[in-house]
Structure 1
Amino acid sequence: MESHQSPIASTLKHLAVFLLVAIWTLPTLGLLVSSVRDKDQLSTTGWWSALTSTTQNEAYRLPRAGEQQPDGDGWKIELNIFEDNQGAKVGQWGTSPRAIDEHEAGDTVDFDDNTRLTLAEDGTVTWTSETEFTHTRGPRLFVVQTTPPRFTLTNYKEVLQSEGVGRAFINTLTVTLPATFIPILIAAFAAYALAWMEFKGRMFFLAMIIGLIVVPLQMSLIPVLQVFASIGQAFNVPSKSYVTIWLAHTGFGLPLAIFLLRNYMASLPRDIIESAYMDGATHFQIFMRMILPLSMPALASFTIFQFLWTWNDLLVAAVFLGQGESKTVMTQQLVELLGSRGDNWEILTAGAFISIVVPIIVFLSMQKYFVRGLLAGSVKGG
């Protein structure tokens, strides 16, 4: 009997899916928009206002008398206060912070020293006098200015051209690729043994692996580091190296990998496995020719998980890889680019988006293998 879903339930289901997608998509969209915004606008307004003009109060000091030029029978000082802020417009202005809206753009004001000042909407200041200017310190103008949305790739250029970023990218790949492949290789063999091979203590080993999943990574950092230090002293090898961090990521990732792959392999149809046994196939042949192709969905899922974890890791890299130009990963490099105050938001947004490009490519690429493996592992029951 076929069950028909009510319109209300279907609407609620689609609404829930939409909300989940929005919750995961909006932060990424905000990061992308922020990464291409102007530095000043990024520090004052949120990314959701990126397409609207911003209004803010600014103070500008006029030049000294030494920058005056002859103008007919008089003298003139002329400049544009928006030289570094192209596209901005003057709304209102004044000569005192208490009367910032005293004049409108384009108004001409006569001062007590027989000088006249005009501030145009585009920020052009024309200050004229019948006699030569003699002031040593120019007065200040207080302006209510409107700045249109500005988008730029300067943030990305600054990150990519920063010293050490390219090397950090290579270092991150050097850490991530082996730290993803090694635990998957070991876990696949171990999962097959726990799922399909009969030996004493199998359930005990499985229980131990499940117990290791709940052990916090932070609790094991110092003991594992002490073990590596002892091995390094015994064999006169560095205790912090790429081999060290590969082994650390492998150890931290194996319990979950074995557990997930074992559960998936154990759920595969027993009939085809037993048929292969009866045909004389060895465990290795069954594993390579049957189990691995049928387990592609689980393998692809853990590959995505492990790659994202190792690529975005900072703690394990800092503890087991150490410092130095040849060891700094992307996460550490971004922290250094932020500086001691951590207020360079434009660097953070651009650098963060650059760092997630590779995981996105890996995720989209593994989706294809995930679907292919899912279709290959489907079995039609008779």
Structure 2
Amino acid sequence: MKFKPLILTIILISTCTCAQDKNPVNKENNHEVVVSDIAIPWGFTFLPDGSMLINEKTGEVIHFKDGVKTEILGLPDIYVRGQGGLMDILLHPDYKNNGWVYFSYASTSGKGDGGNTTIARAKLDHKQFASWEILYKASPNSSRGQHFGSRLVFDIEGYLYFTIGDRGNRDVNPQDITRDCGKVYRINDDGSIPQDNPFVGISKAKKAIYSYGHRNPQGMTLHPVTNKIWTHEHGPKGGDEINIIEKGKNYGWPIISYGVNYSGTKFTDITEKEGMEQPIHYWDPSIAPSGMVFINSDKYGDWKGHLLVGSLKFQYLDLCTLKNGKVVKEERLLDGLGRVRSVEQGPDGYIYVGIENLGIVKLLRGK
């Protein structure tokens, strides 16, 4: 009888562990470290010559070519606080002809103390950026350190989409289209507003908003077949989501959610409501997703067409097998290498993964 407390403790620990690690480990994968010694590779992209531009969250852009890392100068002041800093980076679809590189980062410009997410573009001139243009600046500033977003994606029509989290103001920002934050946005490549954006004709609405009711989307990618925008976002404790973004739709945060407060208390009693979109998938417990890409090459056999999502919390790359637009199976790749921050498919068809305190690794299938 005296061993019962110990046995109960072991059972509880085992149960919690299984709940946290419910996705099986796929051991039929390996990796190659391509770029080492990067602390937080928040975003990266490939130049036409195959070299890479890598954003360090602390405010540096690293050019990597032929084994050599060079810092690119000419960045504006970056507001580094909490989850904010230098975030995503993306080339214009016609980069070879126009040279534009797009950035999301936190800055202090504008009204109020603190900072907020900014979208800008610049041109790479040898070893520095020039011709900076601010395309969008979220307002007002906030000294809170959470939920800046912020991924960048071009669609096939040349519109630029970006995400901004609710900045920790969940009860005000996400459901109010007259306010920034907690939204997915769509603009033209020069920062102007498409006239068919859903809220263009509404007084006081933020005209760049494309969808609303989001918490903190840190993953966004274009489906290679349907050309629809897919996002994932951090939930609170539980309730991380994958969503397919539709024009003008409300994704419910914080009115509906599959999560609870970090303390375990509820902030809502409902997971569904008329007029609010359901996620195609949610995680409970949360995996803390960051980075997202579809496998769209023949390098990985029958993995082609499926989705990869990084896990910050559990430190793996989540292979999400899809069927009829739903996640039907999940497996852990690159298990235990570190917090997966960013995921891209390279021009060579291989998947590259940004892992904190390691660098950029190439995903290889097979042992």
TM-score (norm 2): 0.24
Q: Which has the higher contact order (CA 8 A, sep 6+)?
A: 1
- Higher Rg: 1
Q: Larger % of helix: which?
A: 1
TM-score (norm 1): 0.23
Q: Larger % of strand: which?
A: 2
